[in-house]
Structure 1
Amino acid sequence: MKPLGLLLVICCLTSTGFCISCKSCWHMLDSQCDGSSVPCSSDQVCVASYTLISTVTSETPLYTLSCGSHSQCHFSGSMSTNHGTVRTRNSCCDTDDCIPPFPTLQPVCPMKNKLTCRACFSDTSDYCYTSDTIECTGNERKCGRMARRLSGAVTKNDALRGCATRSYCEKVGNQMSTIQGLNIDSKMFCSDGAPALHVGLLGSIVAILLTKLLF
């Protein structure tokens, strides 16, 4: 057994919780992926995450499977800009190398909620800002900006600014993860916004995600 694997086993055996192994993979298809089995940290579970980027002309899916915390299990949220909408939902299971149920995305709500946010997108930088705006809809009651740095299997920076659900603001950003050779360093900052245009938003992000930009 490799030293890292042995260390993880020892940590599991000496902790107060228990450890399982989970598949680790990502696939840009509307289907599950099959990766290698990796040991998880104490009390982690197997998390399946499905993200769909919808634009006027196309839809781009991303499915990932990895170890994760219990708090990720019921995550569901979205973020929108003038270029389209990103929706994500997770599901979990808690036995060795189990495959969680395929996550079902929440439908898009077209009803405007009176919030207006700045909107922009960049596929070359982890920062963007323009005078463009977007009228928010449904549960997207936050103004947010995500920025992401990818390395490893893919090297790329990108950013998105627009309307976001509270769940995206609380769960998506400020994370570092590695899934099957892809390192994702993401950050996200959000504002409560206002019924008028919000202009004071600062911050940066992969989760999840804007998977259309992976290639």
Structure 2
Amino acid sequence: MGALLGLGVLAALLGTGGAISCYNCTSSDGYNCTTNEATCSATVNSCITIARDEKQGDEDKERTVYEKKCNSDDRLCNQFYGLTAGTYRLRWNSTCCRADRCNVPEITLLPSSGLPNGLQCRSCFARGSDVCVPSEVVNCTGLQTRCIQFAATAATGFEDLRVAFVGCATRSLCELGAVALFASQRPAVVKTNVCSRAGVAMGGLPLLCLGGLLFWALRS
């Protein structure tokens, strides 16, 4: 009886103690990367598939990048994030699953909506710096109905992790998404993460962004 009980306990431990495995790859040419696998750490509870499109400057061509990897932050699961800040544009889709090598299915990046939705935010973007002074007004488009003000700094030697931006964002990006996307590295520390409803395009400045200008003026 004791031997059977011991075997049962051992089986239970073996059943719950193993880390999951996920496909692990990055590709700018579709999903042709499901042959690489990674055994996830103990903190990981899901596999994630991501499609993202980032633009900086006057680029017109869509450059979609696909990722499959282990995921330990549920804020990134089954989400769409959108951001317009300065000359930076982001669209980001994801899906998660919780089993070995389950992140096989493809996902489709939501189409970009270039149609203004009647809202505006002050706007700027800086990578490698935790300071960004908004100097222009940007027209929000599609699902971007919030003005976001975000800044993350980093320890010496990790300057490339610093980022600051003010602009139009989807509600999902405001609700902790910016922290997960732009400050997920351990040396990065969030300094500012504030959102408000975007202002109606009538030539006035949204209250949040006026506050943001005052915030940075006081810091300098």
**Kept after mapping to 2: 8 A contact 1:52/1:86:** yes
Structure 2 match to 1:191: 196
8 Å CA contact 1:48–1:66 kept in 2: the answer is no
Tell me how far apart the structure 1 counterparts of residues 18 and 151 of structure 2 sit (CA, whole Å): 32
The SS at the match of 2:147 is strand
Residue 113, structure 1, aligned to residue 117, structure 2: yes
User: Contact 2:134/2:166 (CA < 8 Å) preserved in 1?
Assistant: no
User: Quick one: which of 168, 172, 181 aligns to 2:177?
Assistant: 172
2:40 aligns with 38
Aligned position for 1:48: 49
Gaps of 5+ in 1: 1-11, 204-215
Contact 1:53 1:61 in 2 (8 A): yes
The aligned residue for residue 8 of structure 1 is: none
Q: Are residues 201 and 66 of structure 1, via their aligned partners in 2, closer, same or farther at CA, if it must alter by over 3 Å?
A: farther
Q: 1:80 — aligned with what?
A: 84
TM-score, normalised on structure 1? Answer: 0.68
User: Which residue does the alignment assign to 2:4?
Assistant: none
1:63-74 matches, cutoff 5 A: 63-64=66-67, 65-68=69-72, 72-74=76-78
State the alpha-carbon separation in 2 of the partners of residues 122 and 41 from structure 1. 31
Say whether 1:102 aligns with 2:124.
no
Which consecutive unaligned segments of at least 5 residues does structure 2 have?
1-11, 216-220
Residues 164 and 186 of structure 1: is their aligned pair in 2 closer, same or farther, counting only changes over 3 Å?
Answer: farther
State, as a whole percentage, how many aligned pairs show the same letter.
Answer: 24
What is the TM-score of this pair, normalised by structure 2? 0.67
Q: Which of 1 and 2 has greater Rg?
A: 2
Higher helix residue share: 2
The number of residue pairs the alignment matches comes to 186
C-alpha RMSD of the superposition: 3.6
CA contact (8 A) 1:73 1:92 kept: yes
